[in-house]
Structure 1
């Protein structure tokens, strides 16, 4: 696996990228500034992005001239399409253990970028035994996909979930 630095102008985003990532660009740029490039952009043999669209946008925002790239030239067209989707989807499948997350965040200085804010985690004083919504199986997690065109309804559902120890992703 060979990573090479190439001109940002030689890389093209995939025009049919189904991932809407505008809200993640600023945080990704902060991460690149804080930690440098730790993960290259993956492109196909024509320098079209397979994975790393947000990193590419962040690099442009940072006015970088070159970025680290891995050319995945051994993948078939079908594999490229599938990898492009799988790379993003597999991250959506993970959930956070909020107690461990809070422990990790407590050990990091405030001026180091993590991408998390106070509102990203529920209060560490939340006592799971006090919640009428949790049963005996503390290892169970529930995931809810919710769509509405009503901002008022969304805000009410969000408040209810957060008030009861849940989190919105």
Structure 2
């Protein structure tokens, strides 16, 4: 794979791009400003974008004259169309592990992650009522929090929360679409 710096005006967006990228342009521009170009734009042999429409729009917004590009000249027209869709769809299939995400966000002190689309209030645990309980039999300390779930004020430990999330994910994987109580529980752990 060869990455080349090309004039931005030499590449073209795909006119039938099925993704609406506009809401992601500012966050992507912020990412390019902070971290530089870590992912090139992928184009076909005719210099039409396959993957990277949002990076292209962000580069335009930033006033970039050149952008890093990979020319995927080895793909057939059908493969280009399929890859254009697959590249976007595969990202949608991944989900966040909210416990690990919260830990990662808490460890980033000098970079404002809201610039990249993260709503930190969504992950802010300061609104929860935390307490520490000690399990005398196991000599372990476990963090608990008081939350409203399914209309009830309950106390849940970190371990119980992880087990609940795992149970819900398994249930959804095995049963597909959810409703009722499972939807309510999903909104709690999502």
Q: Which has the higher strand share?
A: 2
User: What whole-Å deviation, never above 9, does each CA across 1:34-89 have from its counterpart, x for those lacking one?
Assistant: 00000000000010000000000000000000000000000011110010001000
Cα distance in 2, alignment partners of residues 127 and 49 from structure 1: 48
Secondary structure of residue in 1 paired with 2:188: coil
Whether the 8 Å contact between 2:165 and 2:189 is mirrored in structure 1 is no
**Equivalences for residues 23-102 of structure 1 within 5 A:** 23-102=23-102
Give 3-state SS (helix, strand or coil) of 1:80's partner: helix
1:118 maps to which of 110, 117, 120: 120
Task: Point out which structure has higher relative CO (alpha carbons under 8 A, 6+ apart).
Answer: 1
Q: Secondary structure of the equivalent of 1:70?
A: strand
Cα distance in 2, alignment partners of residues 27 and 95 from structure 1: 19
Greater Rg, structure 1 or structure 2? 2
Other-structure match for 1:165: 188
**How many pairs are equivalent?**
153
* RMSD after superposition: 3.3
Change (3 A) 1:79 1:71: same
> 1:43, 1:72 within 8 Å by CA — same for their partners in 2?
yes
* CA gap 1:137/1:109 in 2 versus in 1, 3 angstroms: closer
Offset at residue 5 of structure 1 (A): 0.1
Deviation of 1:118 after TM superposition, in Å, equals 1.4
- Higher normalized helix content (fraction of residues): 2
| 1:138 equivalenced with 2:174 (yes/no) | no
Maintained 8 Å contact 2:150/2:184: no
- TM-score, normalization by structure 2: 0.69
Task: Tell me if structure 2 keeps the 8 A contact 1:122–1:166.
Answer: no
Unaligned runs of 5+ in 1: 146-159
